[in-house]
Amino acid sequence: MPAQRNRSWPARLHVVTGKGGTGKTTVAAALALALAAGGRRTLLVEVEGRQGIAQLFGTDPLPYKERRIADAPGGGEVRALAVDPEEALLEYLDMFYKLGMAGRALQKLGAIDFATTIAPGVRDVLLTGKVKEATTRAEGGHRVYDAVVLDAPPTGRIGRFLNVTAETARLAKVGPIKNQSEGVAAFLRSPMTAVHVVTLLEEMPVQETADAVAELTSLGISLGSVIVNAGRPPLLTDGRIGQAELRRGLVAAGLPADRDTVAGLRAEADAHLTRLAIEDGLRADLGAIGRPLIELPWLAEGVEAAGGGEPVGLLTLAEALSAAGTRTATLA
């Protein structure tokens, strides 16, 4: 089947960032499942050597090789890849200088000390270059992937990671590194790419979301949506509860309804209402950023697939992402 762009999520490369621990890896995986649904094929990529994807899907560590990691609803397929900068460099040397075996020999001899000799900028251009290559790869006149989802570095480093391509182009005045850098820089600034920022309804991640959006905008990098992860539904929707009402409820449930119990419950209810008011404020701050907002629920059962079984939690989040995409229909 020829690759088709998803009208609700038109980008081909979806970069998922966010403050560490907000659910970047989880949301990236759920998005890869959502975009593969209905017989499509997506690639889920990680670049930081954490093996977070393998852990999430309950599989063995990922090699530097694309391989099927999950079925998507309706016959689609998600493949996964852990990009290793060392392997990416060898592939790159091979492509441009036909170094092939010689490159590997250099590696064996320890002549290429990757950790110390590759400038961070070059390392990043190798990683983003590999991601661009997978996104644009075609076989038999058709794109191999309908979409690629990148579990990217966190908000604090995302600007440098994605901008380095332009910096490297300046660093290397001529030659394949310069061409590669310019190609990647243009790709990341085109409508083919969208960066989504994952956050929680908490002060720090919301602040980092606003900062990252401002930074990426100034770099000319295409933004997608702001994804609020792990939201809990409000327990109280009708405002404050009176003492009498609490006491009646406790009595009706056959529970102790002494003065201390009632006062304790009342304090908890008030704290919850205060929390809800803070969350509303943070939601308004996120709204002011001016990107589409998508809210994903907190899953009490967790999201990790047990023993390579069905990723039930991820599928729930994938469904929520698809539904949100259809609702807004303008998501990048």
Closest contact distance (angstroms) between CB of 18 and ligand ADP is 6
Q: Tokens standing for 22?
A: 């907000």
Distance CA 172, CA 96 (A): 15
How big is the site for ligand ADP, counted in residues (CB under 6 A)?
Answer: 17
Chain-centroid distance, C-alpha 299? 17
Residue 26 found at the interface with ligand ADP (CB under 6 A): yes
Distance CA 316, CA 56 (A): 14
Q: Name the binder of 292 from ligand ADP, Mg ion, none, CB < 5-8 A by kind.
A: none
Which residue, 76 or 154, is less far from ligand ADP as judged by CB?
154
When binding is defined by CB under 6 A, the residue of 229, 246, 294, 322 that contacts ligand ADP is 229
When binding is defined by CB under 6 A, the residue of 24, 79, 130, 291 that contacts ligand ADP is 24
Look at strands 76-82 and 138-139 and give their pairing.
Answer: unpaired
Which residue, 6 or 26, is less far from Mg ion as judged by CB?
26
- Per-residue HEC secondary structure of 107-171 comes to HHCCCCCHHHHCCHHHHHHHHHHHHHHHHHCEECCEECCCEEEEECCCHHHHHHHHHHHHHHHHH
When binding is defined by CB under 6 A, the residue of 53, 149, 192, 303 that contacts ligand ADP is 303
Segment near ligand ADP (CB under 6 A); pick from 18-26, 122-130, 183-191, 285-293:
18-26
| Contacts with ligand ADP, 58-87, as mask; x by CB under 6 A | ------------------------------
Closest contact distance (angstroms) between CB of 327 and ligand ADP is 19
When binding is defined by CB under 6 A, the residue of 21, 49, 234, 308 that contacts ligand ADP is 21
Q: Name the binder of 318 from ligand ADP, Mg ion, none, CB < 5-8 A by kind.
A: none
Q: How many helices (H) and strands (E) does the chain have?
A: 12, 10
134, 164, 174 from 161: Cα distances, Å:
18, 6, 21
Which residue, 16 or 172, is less far from ligand ADP as judged by CB?
16
Which residue, 25 or 193, is less far from Mg ion as judged by CB?
25
When binding is defined by CB under 5 A, the residue of 12, 16, 34, 52 that contacts Mg ion is 52
Q: Are the CB atoms for 152 and 16 separated by under 8 Å? A: yes
Q: Are the CB atoms for 163 and 221 separated by under 8 Å? A: yes
Site for ligand ADP in 273-302 (CB under 6 A): 296, 298-299, 302
Task: State the residue for tokens 């983003």.
Answer: 128
Site for Mg ion in 1-40 (CB under 5 A): 24-25
Which residue, 31 or 221, is less far from ligand ADP as judged by CB?
31
Which residue, 17 or 165, is less far from ligand ADP as judged by CB?
17
Chain-centroid distance, C-alpha 173? 33
Closest contact distance (angstroms) between CB of 16 and Mg ion is 9
How big is the site for Mg ion, counted in residues (CB under 5 A)?
Answer: 3
The contacts found for 272-277 with CB under 8 angstroms, 24 or more apart, are 272/234, 272/235, 272/236, 273/236, 273/239, 273/240, 276/234, 276/236
Q: Name the binder of 20 from ligand ADP, Mg ion, none, CB < 5-8 A by kind.
A: ligand ADP
- Which amino acid is located at 312 in the chain? V
- Across 266-282, b (16+ Cβ under 10 Å) vs e yields beebeeebeebeebeeb
Distance CA 227, CA 18 (A): 9
Residues at the site binding ligand ADP, with contacts judged by CB under 6 A: 18, 20-26, 52, 229-230, 296, 298-299, 302-304
Residues forming contacts to Mg ion in the complex (CB under 5 A) are 24-25, 52
